[in-house]
Amino acid sequence: MKTLLAAAALGLTTLATGAFADGHESFPERPIMMMVSYGAGGATDFQARIVTMTAGNEDALGMPIAIINKPGAGGRVGWNWFATQADADGYTLGAYNIPHFIAQSIEGGVEYSADSFEPIANWGADPAVFVVGADSEFNSMADVVDYAKANPGKLTFSGAGLFVGHHIAALQLEKVAGVKLAYIPSNKGGAGAMKSVIAGEVLGGVNNLSDAFRAQEAGNVKILGVFDLERNEFLPDVPTLKEQGFDIDNASVNFRGVMVPKGTPQPIIDKLAATVPTMFENSRVAGKMKAGGSPMHIMTRDEVLAMWAAREETLKELLAGL
């Protein structure tokens, strides 16, 4: 009973202050939730939990951020919900994955596009890598492509789903090397795709650099190439696809960051865009991310807007040829 009375008093106070604050100076006044469109424990969920852990600090937002998972169909379920049903009041944030949601919106069948969301800031960039089992006979991308040329359509390799970064990387490889491959999408994300490589169900796979790095450390896989413009600090010995003679850019690199639904008041977007990147720069966040083998890449709202637009163009071109 006492709790309830206290709760009632608290509720009334919130109500009163809410009514008097005309602008959005006092935002945020209550805890914020952030939707992640992948399951708990996945790479996106794991990183989202780390980068938001300091949100409650006074120099950040001053209010904690709680993670809500809405997994399903390669992220479509969560982003559909975010575009159509989430409240555009600044208290509902979402995590984005590029190129996933842009590729899905180009392919169709979903209710969102790059115009449905307003980016706030980017926290990470996770390139796709090509992995094979530790005892595989392939030792370079040339071996893989040679096998695919000799056996068209018979080189099975796994990835996290259709029209996600891994699939984009696979499409680029097929196009540049001029081969036909058998891409097997997993319904369990990167972890499921990695399992089928380690268990030998498929000959190879495209996977996240962060997950592949751990699997290589554990001695389960070999990493043959990075789908990025430069070598990665976590894997200085692994050459990029470009170095191995395949002209592939960074279109498949998985950028992760925070966004809000379209229609969120501009002052709130500005406030978030100013605070969130500094929140990502916190040294505790950087330490935990590095410990977990997750590459960070902080970008501000303007940089992300430019990146979204550029990515949309490349993807339209790539997917048009399908």
Q: Which stretch binds other proteins (CB under 8 A): 168-176, 192-200, 224-232, 275-283?
A: 192-200
CA dist., res. 141 & res. 88, Å (int): 46
Residue 244 Cβ, how far from other proteins at the closest point, in Å? 24
CA dist., res. 177 & res. 180, Å (int): 9
Q: Which stretch binds other proteins (CB under 8 A): 117-125, 161-169, 227-235, 272-280?
A: 161-169
Question: Does residue 50 touch other proteins according to CB under 8 A?
Answer: yes
Nearest in space to 210 (alpha carbons), one of 286, 98, 289: 289
For every residue of 231-287, DSSP letters joined together read: -BTTBTTSPBTTTTT----STT-EEEEEEEETT--HHHHHHHHHHHHHHHT-HHHHH
Residue selected from 186, 240, 252, 264 as contacting other proteins according to rule CB under 8 A:
186
Pair type for strands 254-261 and 92-98: antiparallel
For every residue of 78-141, DSSP letters joined together read: HHHHHHHTS--SSSEEEEEEETHHHHHHHH-SSS--GGGEEEEEEEEEE-EEEEEETT-S--SH
For other proteins, the closer of residues 70 and 301 by Cβ is 70
For other proteins, the closer of residues 66 and 306 by Cβ is 66
CA dist., res. 256 & res. 254, Å (int): 6
Size of the site for other proteins (CB under 8 A): 77
Question: Does residue 242 touch other proteins according to CB under 8 A?
Answer: no
For other proteins, the closer of residues 233 and 266 by Cβ is 233
CB 226 within 8 A of CB 238: yes
CA dist., res. 208 & res. 294, Å (int): 10
Question: Does residue 57 touch other proteins according to CB under 8 A?
Answer: no
> What is the H or E stretch that residue 226 is in?
strand 221-227
CA dist., res. 210 & res. 212, Å (int): 6
Q: Which stretch binds other proteins (CB under 8 A): 139-147, 157-165, 299-307, 313-321?
A: 157-165
For other proteins, the closer of residues 220 and 275 by Cβ is 220
Question: Does residue 264 touch other proteins according to CB under 8 A?
Answer: no
For other proteins, the closer of residues 155 and 259 by Cβ is 155
Q: Which of residues 97-156 bind other proteins (CB under 8 A)?
A: 104, 107, 109-110, 153-156
For other proteins, the closer of residues 161 and 225 by Cβ is 161
For other proteins, the closer of residues 157 and 255 by Cβ is 157
- 3 state SS of 315: helix
Question: Does residue 69 touch other proteins according to CB under 8 A?
Answer: yes
CB 246 within 8 A of CB 141: yes
Question: Does residue 310 touch other proteins according to CB under 8 A?
Answer: no
CA dist., res. 72 & res. 250, Å (int): 26
Question: Does residue 166 touch other proteins according to CB under 8 A?
Answer: no
For other proteins, the closer of residues 18 and 245 by Cβ is 18
Q: Which of residues 12-31 bind other proteins (CB under 8 A)?
A: 12, 14-15, 30-31
Q: Which of residues 205-234 bind other proteins (CB under 8 A)?
A: 214-215, 217-220
Q: Which residues make beta-bridge pairs with 36? A: 69
Q: Which stretch binds other proteins (CB under 8 A): 63-71, 115-123, 246-254, 305-313?
A: 63-71
